[in-house]
Amino acid sequence: MATPARVYHTQQVHYLRKSVAFDTPNIGSGVPMGTLPDGAIVVDLIAVVETAFNAGTTNVLVVGTASNDDALIDASGVTEATPAGYRDDTGLGYVASGDTEVLVKYTQTGTAATTGAATIIVAYVPNNDG
């Protein structure tokens, strides 16, 4: 079930924040972060890898929507095996068409990961022009 979109009554930047790990339930198919309200514009995208993801061949962390799993942070936006903060511009300027659920997805190949944790932040400005 999607969480309701947040829109505060004052002019301010809103955000969604979600911490995930290599073994978060359903991470392979997408874990909900929250919902962008209709007309919201994404203004920043940050992924902080706290613990390296260590699958044997590939580690891919993406952020997107049900219709496009890497619409906001694509596969090249994060170096999952290196703890650091990453800013990705893939989804800058993304405009939500209707209330839009945001999902975080991690996929891996090769030997299964035994470590990996990250926090994702999606900052947006709602359409509250009045």
Following DSSP, what letter does each residue of the chain receive, concatenated? -PPPPP--SSS--EEEEEEEETT-TTTTT-EEEEEEPTT-EEEEEEEEEEE----SSEEEEEEE-SS-TTSSB-TTS--TTS-EEEE--TTTT-B-SSSEEEEEEEEEESSPPS--EEEEEEEEE-----
> Mean pLDDT across the stretch 61-90?
97
pLDDT of residue 5: 80
User: pLDDT higher for 9 or 17?
Assistant: 17
CA distance 101 to 32: 7
Mean pLDDT score of the chain, rounded to an integer?
94
Q: pLDDT tens digits, residue range 18-35?
A: 999 999 999 999 999 999
Instruction: Using a pLDDT cut of 70, give the percent of the chain over it.
Output: 98
pLDDT(9) > 80: no
User: pLDDT higher for 106 or 2?
Assistant: 106
